[in-house]
């Protein structure tokens, strides 16, 4: 009886629990955040939220911390993505040849991605430590001046970028390796007939055919880069002097350090719109690219 009933309504019996869960845990909180962005509230049980209209948004646009966080996020994301894309594609092309130990290579490259980000961040904190760290030790061996790394306002973002490049270059590389494996062989055969060099084949056949795959990998990375939290928070907490306070860290500070829940919510709405528009732009680029091929 019950089985019969489930069979007849399988579509809903199977999907509704998950969808209700998502509505309850994701959609409702999003609406809540949107509403809260028009209020001023510090989580006090005594003072209820006070309607302030667009004041939170206006205050944010006048706040230098907001523009700084936007700049930090953009700087960290853009340089990281350029470096890890170039390195990732390079490593993929290098490793796509068949050789002994491919499995070992793939396993090693996977480790930075799956290892717990906080523990990775703390290892890098030790490596970057100005007086005892390995980074400065290498600089001493090479005869360079030692650096402040994470402790310096100008070096903190490049240092964080290096961590992200180390951690996520393998992501681009592994996806591109998988992409190379699916490439058709005919173009290469006719290029061989024409006597093309391996460099020409790479530039004129492999890379153009891989462009959609690379764009997808880059899109996924950019989304995650904009959201970077663990690495930054565990190493610098946004310092020194706010030099590494990205949007994600600023939201956290506003909400859970300053308890300005209204401003934090307004910033979240802006952050959300930013990420959505980045995704829309990148998917439309990818569609256009695919149309061209």
- The Cα 74–Cα 69 span in angstroms is 8
For residue 121, give every residue at least 6 positions away whose Cβ sits within 8 Å of its Cβ, in sequence order, or none.
Answer: 163, 230, 231, 234, 235
Among 229, 239, 240, 242, binds other proteins (CB under 8 A): 229
Binding piece for other proteins, criterion CB under 8 A, among 61-69, 147-155, 192-200, 252-260: 252-260
Q: Is 43 left (phi over 0), alpha (psi -120 to 50) or beta?
A: left
Residue 193 binds other proteins (CB under 8 A):
no
Restricting to residues 109-168, which ones interact with other proteins according to CB under 8 A? 109-120, 122-127, 132, 134, 137, 166
* CB neighbour burial string for 11-21, b if at least 16 within 10 angstroms, e if fewer: eeeeeeeeeee
Binding mask 22-61 for other proteins (x = CB under 8 A): x--xxxxxx-xx--x------x------------------
Binding piece for other proteins, criterion CB under 8 A, among 101-109, 144-152, 186-194, 197-205: 101-109
| Other Cβ atoms within 10 Å of 265 Cβ, number | 23
Residue 5 binds other proteins (CB under 8 A):
no
Restricting to residues 70-99, which ones interact with other proteins according to CB under 8 A? 91, 94-95, 99
CA–chain centroid gap for 89, Å, is 17
Nearest distance from C-beta of residue 156 to other proteins, angstroms: 17
**Which of 155, 139, 166 has its CA nearest to residue 236?**
155
Nearer to other proteins, 142 or 154 (CB): 142
Nearer to other proteins, 89 or 190 (CB): 89
Residue 236 binds other proteins (CB under 8 A):
no
**Which of 49, 57, 112 has its CA nearest to residue 266?**
57
Nearer to other proteins, 42 or 190 (CB): 42
| Other Cβ atoms within 10 Å of 192 Cβ, number | 10
Residues in the chain: 293
Nearer to other proteins, 65 or 227 (CB): 227
Residue 206 binds other proteins (CB under 8 A):
no
Distances (CA, A) of 201 to 86, 99, 137: 18, 20, 42
Nearer to other proteins, 154 or 184 (CB): 184
């Amino acid at each position: 009886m019950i089985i019969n009933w489930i069979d007849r309504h399988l579509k809903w019996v199977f999907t509704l629990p998950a969808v209700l869960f998502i509505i309850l845990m994701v959609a409702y909180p999003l609406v809540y955040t949107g509403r809260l962005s028009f209020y001023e509230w510090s989580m006090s049980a005594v003072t209820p939220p006070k309607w302030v209209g667009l004041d939170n948004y206006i205050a944010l646009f006048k706040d230098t911390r907001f523009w700084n966080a936007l700049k930090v996020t953009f700087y960290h994301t853009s340089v990281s993505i350029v470096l890890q894309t170039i390195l990732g594609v390079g490593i993929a092309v290098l490793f796509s040849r068949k050789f002994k130990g491919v499995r070992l290579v793939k396993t090693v490259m996977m480790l930075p991605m799956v290892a717990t980000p906080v523990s990775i961040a703390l290892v890098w904190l030790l490596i970057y430590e100005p007086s005892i760290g390995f980074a400065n030790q290498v600089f001493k061996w090479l005869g360079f001046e030692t650096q402040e790394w994470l402790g310096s306002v100008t070096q903190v973002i490049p240092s964080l970028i290096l961590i992200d490049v180390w951690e996520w270059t393998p992501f681009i590389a592994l996806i591109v390796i998988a992409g190379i494996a699916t490439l058709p062989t005919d173009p290469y055969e006719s290029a061989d007939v024409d006597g093309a060099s391996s460099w020409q084949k790479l530039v004129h056949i492999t890379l153009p055919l891989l462009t959609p795959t690379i764009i997808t990998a880059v899109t996924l990375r950019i989304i995650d880069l904009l959201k970077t939290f663990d690495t930054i928070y565990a190493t610098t907490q946004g310092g020194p002097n706010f030099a590494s306070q990205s949007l994600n860290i600023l939201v956290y500070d506003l909400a859970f350090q300053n308890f300005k829940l209204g401003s934090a919510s307004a910033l979240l709405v802006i952050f959300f719109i930013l990420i959505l528009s980045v995704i829309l732009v990148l998917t439309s680029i990818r569609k256009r690219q695919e149309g061209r091929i």
